[in-house]
Amino acid sequence: MTGKMRIGVVGLVHDHIWGVLSEFKQIKDAEVTCAADVNKPLLVKVKELGLRTYRSYADLFSKEKIDAVIVYTENSRHADVTELAAEKGVHVMVEKPMAANLEQAERMLKVSRKHKIKLMINYPTAWYTTFREAYRLAKEGSVGRLFQVRYRAAHQGPREIGCSPYFYEWLYNKDLNGAGAFMDYCCYGANMCRWILGVPDKCVALGGTYVRDYLVVEDNAVLLMGYEKAMGIAEASWSQVGEGVPARYTLVINGSEGVMAAGKELRICTSEDKGWKTVKAGPLERGRRTAPEHFVTCIQEDKPFDDLVSGPHNRDAQAILEAGLISMKDDRAVYLRELKITE
């Protein structure tokens, strides 16, 4: 692709959109030109950024000439928007997780392949330098053979930390979100365990509404992923007070010869060390520093997306989440082979 990319926005009800739009302003080879959402106050807000606005994303697709679209709707609408975009040859980036359930994720992967469009699933953690460095060191064998990967994501709750009502109202809706805290936050752990350890053999999950009694979805959940000689752990909480211990957003990688903890900084302790040491994480390479930069670069240069944000990888992560939801419902271990997953 040559020339400046024209990008549309579908959905403004995911609060991450405002930070991502700011990042797109830094991309000289792309321009966000238009946006669609049903909520007038959000359209007024985005119109102040100079974008043309529509109440219907169907109108946006029919009236605007765009090369790509970024999707910040409810999780359950990702598949519908992706299908319409793909039919028009428009590339797609959706915010994590890929969808509200596995069936929708499969639809997205299928239609992207059929129409040969690029499909990216953005995880904010994909651009954390400490996580990238931890991954590199783990694959190099710095802590020996890996046997456990754990990611905890936690805060006091979407409403409690100041998310907009447009955002938290659908996060609290099982049909729109896919679950509650489990889908919102265990998705990070599923994504990273798929990245570091691969697809697990089985999953076990537990969750419930333990603190936020006004919710009809779970406010806390744990997802266990079982491998032949390793385990993955994804923790989610919408009721954690404070930022100390347990840490709110931390990736921990255990190996036979050491352990790494990646958050705001990266620390490592090996069997040869006397204690923890801090490892400097270098800058990310050009084209992989932010979601907008990676999205635009890969489209313009016709390159595949990084595995962590690719369609196939995140379809697998969605399958892991699906197995966890079945586990919570049926109170049993769920083997991934039970799910209908395409190649």
Secondary structure in 3-state letters for 256-299: CCEEEEECCCEEEEECCCCCCEEECCCCCCCCCCCHHHHHHHHH
Provide the pLDDT for residue 1. 58
pLDDT tier, 245 (very low <50, low <70, confident <90, very high otherwise): low
Mean pLDDT of 238-263: 88
Contacts 24+ apart (CB under 8 A), 211-217: 211/238, 211/239, 212/157, 212/238, 212/239, 215/172, 215/180, 216/172, 216/174, 217/172, 217/173, 217/174, 217/177, 217/179, 217/180, 217/181
Residues near 277 by beta carbon (within 8 Å), at least 6 away in sequence: 267, 268, 269
User: Which domains does the chain carry?
Assistant: 5-123 (3.40.50.720), 126-285+319-338 (3.30.360.10)
Provide the pLDDT for residue 58. 96
Peptide bond into 97 cis (omega under 30): yes
Provide the pLDDT for residue 47. 97
In contact, 67 and 93? CB cutoff 8 Å: no
β-pairing, 119-122 with 68-71? Answer: unpaired
> Distance between CA atoms of 147 and 227, rounded to whole angstroms?
9
Question: For residue range 307-329, what is the model confidence (pLDDT) as tens digits?
Answer: 999 999 999 999 999 999 999 99
Burial class (CB in 10 A: 0-12, 13-18, 19+), 185: buried
Provide the pLDDT for residue 274. 76
> Distance between CA atoms of 98 and 75, rounded to whole angstroms?
7
Taking the mean position of all CA atoms in its chain, how far away is CA 170? 17
CA separation (Å) from 284 to 36, 131, 290?
32, 11, 9
Mean pLDDT of 274-285: 92
Predicted confidence (pLDDT) at residue 112 exceeds the cutoff of 90: yes
Question: For residue range 292-304, what is the model confidence (pLDDT) as tens digits?
Answer: 999 999 999 999 9
Question: For residue range 50-77, what is the model confidence (pLDDT) as tens digits?
Answer: 999 999 999 999 999 999 999 999 999 9
